[in-house]
Amino acid sequence: MEDTFVDWLLARLPTDGRLEVPPGDDAAVLRPPAMRRTVVTTDMLAEGVDFLLGDGPGRCRPRDVGRKAMAVNLSDLAAMAARPEAAVVAVTLPRDDGEAIGRELFEGLLEVATAFDVTLAGGDTNAWEGGLVVSVTAIGSVPPGRAWRRDGARPGDAIVVTGRFGGSLLGRHLSPRPRCREAIAIAERFPVHAAIDVSDGLSLDLARLARASGVAAWIAPEEVPIHDDAFRAAAAEPGGRTPIERALGDGEDFELVLAMPADAAEELLAAAPDGVELAKIGGIVAGEGLKQQRPDGSLATLPATGFLHRFDEEAG
C-alpha cells in the first residue's frame, strides 16, 4: 500500500522553488529565506483523542482532519508572527481503507498549505491496526529578534484579541483560519510585547502568557467578543455554561492574544490592518494569575478554564 500511496502523493505535490531537493529523496533540502530566522513547530492529531472519523454529529471526514492538522500548526506560527514556509507530515493510516483515507487527508492538508503558500517538503507514512494519526511540523521564518514570545508582557500593557470566542465545537474548530497574515501585518507596524494563540481556551492561554511573563493578566468580561456559536451552544443547553463562560473556556478558536503598550493598542484598534476584527479585553498588572475586572474597577480572581490533556496514572 505504502509505495502506491507515496507515488500518488509525490505526483500530487506542486513543485516549489524553496526546495533545492524536493520530496522523494531521503530528506528534502530547503532554501531558507535570506536574513531570516527559522521558526519550527509541531502538532499531532489522533483519532479518538482529537477527532472521530465518520458521518453524523461530532464526527468528521479525513479531509477535515487534514485541514485542521495544517491550520493548527500555522496558528502557532502566527502566534510567533512568523511567515509560513514549509511543512513535513508524518501520518499513520488505519490498515482498513487507509489509502483512501490518506488521499483525502492530504487533499485537506494541501488545501490549507496552498492557501497560505506553504510547501509540503516531505514526510513519512505508516499503516497499523489503530486509528488515523497525523503529525504536522510547520516551518516558518521571521526577521532576527522579531518573533513574538509569551514571556514579554509588562504591567501597563493592554490585552488585544483577534476575532470572537466560544462554541467552536459546533463545527468551527474543524476549519480554523490561522491568523498568519494578520499577525505579520500587525508585527510590521505595531510593538507587541507578548503573544499566544488560543488553542485550549482564552482564559487558560492568557493565563499561560501571564505566567511566562511573570505578571498578572486581567479581563473585562463584558469586552470579550463572544462568537454566535457560543450563544447557540448555550441556547441548546439550558442551565449549562453561559456564553461568556464558553468564550473564556471552550478553546479551539485559534485567535491571537496580544499584550502590547496601551497607546499602541489604541492605534492598532483604529487601524485594524488587513481588516481584522480586534478588541481590547483587558490588561497586564504586576502580580500573578488571572483576574477579572468588576464593574467598580476592582480586580477579582478569575479561574482559568480550558482544555488540558490528561495522562492516566500508571502503576509502578
Q: What does the binding site for Mg ion look like in residue numbers (CB under 5 A)?
A: 76, 197
Q: For residues 76 and 253, which CB has a smaller minimum distance to Mg ion in the complex?
A: 76
In the complex, least distance from residue 270 CB atom to Mg ion, rounded to whole angstroms: 27
Tracing cell 476592582 back to the chain, one arrives at: 298
Minimum CB separation of residue 254 from Mg ion in Å reads 9
Rounded distance between C-alpha atoms, residue 270 and residue 279, angstroms: 10
In the complex with Mg ion, the residue whose CB is nearer, 63 or 208, is 208
What is the residue type of 39? V
Indicate the residue among 198 and 281 with the shorter CB distance to Mg ion.
198
Q: Return d(Cα 84, Cα 36) in angstroms, integer.
A: 12
Q: How far is the CB of 256 from Mg ion (least distance, A)?
A: 10
Alpha helices, DSSP H, located in 153-260 = 180-189, 202-213, 228-235, 243-249
Q: Output 67 or 179, the one with its CB closest to Mg ion.
A: 179
| Residue 196 CB, nearest approach to Mg ion (Å) | 6
Residue 178 and residue 134: Cα distance in Å, rounded? 18
DSSP letter at 205?
H
Query: CA-to-CA distance for 207 and 201, rounded, in angstroms?
Result: 10
Q: Which is nearer to Mg ion, 76 or 85 (CB)?
A: 76
Q: How far is the CB of 199 from Mg ion (least distance, A)?
A: 5
Cell for 206?
492568557
